[in-house]
Amino acid sequence: MKDTISALTSKKLWLAPLAGITDKAFRTICKQCGADVVVSEMVSADGYIYNISRSMKYVDFTEFQRPFGIQIFGYKPSIMAKAVEMILEKRPDLIDINMGCPVRKVIKRGAGSALMKTPELAADIICEVRKVLDGTNIPLSAKIRSGWDDSSMNAVDFGKKMEDTGIDMICIHPRTRSQMFSGRSDWTVIKKLKEKLSIPVIGNGDIRNAQDAQKMFKETGCDSVMIGRGIIGNPWLFAEIKEIISNRNNFSIDNSEKLKKIKDHFLLAIKNKGEDNAIKEMRTHFSYYTKGFQGGAKVRELINSSFNKNEILKAIEQLYQGKRKNEQN
């Protein structure tokens, strides 16, 4: 198990779980661009048990995506354990428990970041899921925030309790639940967690460029970094980070390579979801891919109303042959 954990956490680049964004197609693109570990969008434990066919799309992955983690959320230890038992059929490389989601429909039942207010319940969940994983060589992790709100910043004590209960690694997004995604993440909390815990710590929050990733490693001592929003529209950031953290600084990518990746992304999404669904779901990605180009707004307008694959591809192609807004004539 020690080697398995080290293979996932020694100076690795993780793709953050982003519901509605990091689906199977995008994970493949991120892997191609250099992500080391990718994680599923969060999957409801209850949903998995009671309506497995609806949850299947979240846990589906390809061999190329390994190591692949499946993240579940829920609030009832027995249900969480049962869901993990069923999920093991998929042979994931990691099980992650969501203890950070701030969304109302998740926290109202005590799941996600609400678990940081109920450390005993969180520990019971870890305990029950651990039993299911014993003997499997599949590590167990938890993804937490810095606490519920400013007056209850318990990440370090909470993380220690989870470690003592049996997780193998921990990921922290150092904002409180009250902050949701506003303000800045407080990387000093990552550092404190790393200092207090013996298990590997994966730092997350506000990595927007390669320098940020390097800075997070340096300032916090974290074992690995996880990148979420910074990757949307910019999956090649993984390749750039790899270059910078190995002191090579040789990264470059031109518009034609980017365009090829975007097309691959779109075609993979179509293969996985069918044309109409893929077109709808790719709109978020396209809006990021087309940012900063002269004429981008007009192309986004077309993409947001078109259901014609070729029309969309042609518009993006033309955009990428044009100029960025800050480029000189």
In the complex, the residues that contact ligand FMN under the rule CB under 6 A are 16-21, 41-42, 71, 98, 100-101, 143, 173, 181, 204-207, 227-230
Residue closer to ligand FMN by CB (options 18, 123) is 18
Encode 12-46: b = buried (16+ Cβ within 10 Å), e = exposed: bbbbbbbeebbbbbbbbbbbbbbbbbbbbbbbbbb
With CB atoms as reference, the residue minimizing the distance to ligand FMN is 228
Residue closer to ligand FMN by CB (options 19, 270) is 19
Residue closer to ligand FMN by CB (options 57, 229) is 229
Q: Is there a catalytic annotation at residue 33? A: no
Tell me the two tokens of residue 206. Answer: 């506000």
Angle between helices 275-289 and 309-321 (to 10 degrees): 20
- 205 in Cβ contact with 175 (< 8 Å): yes
* Cα–Cα distance, 21 to 301 (Å, whole number): 20
- 186 in Cβ contact with 179 (< 8 Å): no
Instruction: Please report where in the chains the tokens 């870890």 appear, as a residue.
Output: 126
* Cα–Cα distance, 144 to 103 (Å, whole number): 14
- 266 in Cβ contact with 282 (< 8 Å): yes
Instruction: Specify the DSSP class assigned to residue 132.
Output: H
Minimum distance, C-beta of residue 205 to ligand FMN, in the bound complex (Å): 5
> Which entry of 101, 127, 171, 222 is annotated as an active-site residue?
101
Residue closer to ligand FMN by CB (options 144, 279) is 144
Residue closer to ligand FMN by CB (options 92, 205) is 205
Residue closer to ligand FMN by CB (options 58, 320) is 58
> How many other C-beta atoms can be found within 10 angstroms of the C-beta atom of residue 286?
22
* Cα–Cα distance, 286 to 230 (Å, whole number): 15
Minimum distance, C-beta of residue 194 to ligand FMN, in the bound complex (Å): 17
Beta strands (DSSP E) in the chain are 13-15, 37-39, 43-44, 68-73, 94-99, 140-147, 169-176, 201-204, 224-227
Residue 135 amino acid letter: G
Active-site positions read 101
